[in-house]
Amino acid sequence: MRHLVLAMIVSATFAGCGGSGSEDGAPRPQDPSPAGPPATSEEFARRVDALCKDTQPELAEIRAALTATRDAGRSGRVSLPKTFEAFTMLLRRAGTVTDRFEARLRSITAPSGERGFRDALVRSLEQGSSNLQAQVSAAKRQDAVGLRELSLKGSLINAEQKGLIAGRGGFKFCGRR
């Protein structure tokens, strides 16, 4: 059972971009999107990409911790209850990061030609946040099958986000892992 449970890849829905800072109260870097609407689509893309760049280190840390937790549980070094407890904490942290990114993205006024793109990205982030909340609930219940299904759904949401971004110019960091 242990190997079946932990064979899953907990690839939580980290939005193609994500948020920034940390939830521990440490100061976060200044928001890279100054007040006022961007004058051009290029400026809008630069601001959104800066948000992505700002958060990538934290998301990479969470991904690495999820993988290490999974591997420790799979090997038997950590009990299943402790493994699920760690998953719960890490997935909550990913949710906080995603929610923060979404709020920061919403604060950027998109030029008229970019509103549809921004709205689609926000909807995708909302789906990702909802999926992460469901993953947290599944981890709290120690529902391995449910967590695996939600993780797979999260991977699809993440792929869709990357597809949204891939068709746009001006992004260096958004849509990358």
What are the boundaries of each domain within the chain? 39-166
Answer yes or no: is pLDDT of 92 > 60: yes
From residue 134, give the alpha-carbon distance in Å to each of 11, 29, 127, 176. Answer: 13, 29, 11, 24
Answer yes or no: is pLDDT of 14 > 70: no
**Is-contact 17 51, C-beta < 8 A?**
yes
Q: Please give the span between the terminal C-alpha atoms of the chain, in angstroms, as a whole number.
A: 30
pLDDT band at 176 (very low <50, low <70, confident <90, very high): confident
What are the tens digits of pLDDT across the range 119-163? Answer: 999 999 999 999 999 999 999 999 999 999 999 999 999 999 998
**Is-contact 154 31, C-beta < 8 A?**
no
pTM, two decimals, is 0.79
pLDDT band at 100 (very low <50, low <70, confident <90, very high): very high
Q: Which of 66-75, 92-101, 161-170 has the lowest mean pLDDT?
A: 161-170
d(CA 65, CA 172): 25
